[in-house]
Amino acid sequence: MAMPAPHGIRERNVWTVADLQQLPDDGNRYEILYGELLVTPLPSSGHQGIAARLVLALGGWCRAHTGWCFLTPGGVYISETNWLEPDIAVYPSPEYLNLEWREMPAPLLVIEVLSASTRTRDRYRKRPAYLAHGVAEVWLVDEEAREIERWTAASEFPDLCYGSITWTPDAALPPLTVSETELFGPARNPSPSV
């Protein structure tokens, strides 16, 4: 949800990356989309648990096969009025290369774990911005539905992944597969009726 500027910070019609440097380090995530300030509060423990499990899977795969950089949250610099921070981003650059955000290539994969306060924005505003910027693939992870929507620039509709999701950024590399149970934990059985 877009929120007003934090107390003590003057409102702006158009926010820039330089304006973000003036914002307090208060636990909120600050992003800019087409000059609009987006403020997201600290995520839930369930949200962070999913992100952590994905980072472990992606991190192990990247280190074993490519050495690519994976960050959580990642930064996606698009322009001075577009700065986004996905929950996870995988960049096709060496893991230990210390680049400025403006120098980073477009991520190969961006992952957003959906929450009640960000679901609409992540799906309908941020996803198209990532894909327009050259991000190869976007995953929207829905804990409630136990599914992942996979989007690419060519997608008219998402590929809905249940049970597992497989990432194959390069046919010469082995694929990474993450199971539903690994990501969301065991399925909860509904309570029996009395």
Q: pTM for the whole thing?
A: 0.89
The pLDDT, as a whole number, for residue 1 is 44
Segments forming the whole domain that contains residue 177: 43-184
Name the residue with tokens 């400025």. Answer: 100
Q: Confirm if 109 and 76 have CB atoms less than 8 A apart.
A: no
CATH number of the domain at 180, please: 3.90.1570.10
Q: Please classify residue 125 by burial: count the beta carbons closer than 10 Å to its beta carbon, then call 0-12 exposed, 13-18 middle and 19+ buried.
A: middle
The pLDDT, as a whole number, for residue 7 is 58
Position 32 in a domain: no
The pLDDT, as a whole number, for residue 174 is 97
Position 69 in a domain: yes
The total of structural domains in the chain comes to 1
**φ and ψ at residue 15, rounded to 5 degrees:** -90, 145
Position 177 in a domain: yes
Q: Confirm if 108 and 137 have CB atoms less than 8 A apart.
A: yes
Characterise 30 by phi-psi region: left (phi > 0), alpha (psi -120 to 50), beta (else): beta
Mean pLDDT by 10 residues, the chain (194 residues): 57 90 87 94 91 95 94 90 96 88 93 93 96 96 95 95 95 96 84 56
Position 152 in a domain: yes
Position 81 in a domain: yes
H runs (alpha helix) in the chain: 17-20, 45-65, 119-121, 127-132, 180-184
**φ and ψ at residue 39, rounded to 5 degrees:** -120, 125
Position 13 in a domain: no
Position 9 in a domain: no
Position 38 in a domain: no
Euclidean distance between CA atoms 82 and 36, whole angstroms: 8
163-189 as b/e, with b when 16 or more CB fall inside 10 Å? eebebebeeeeeebebebeebbeeeee
**DSSP per-residue letters across 181-193:** HHHH-SPPPPPPP
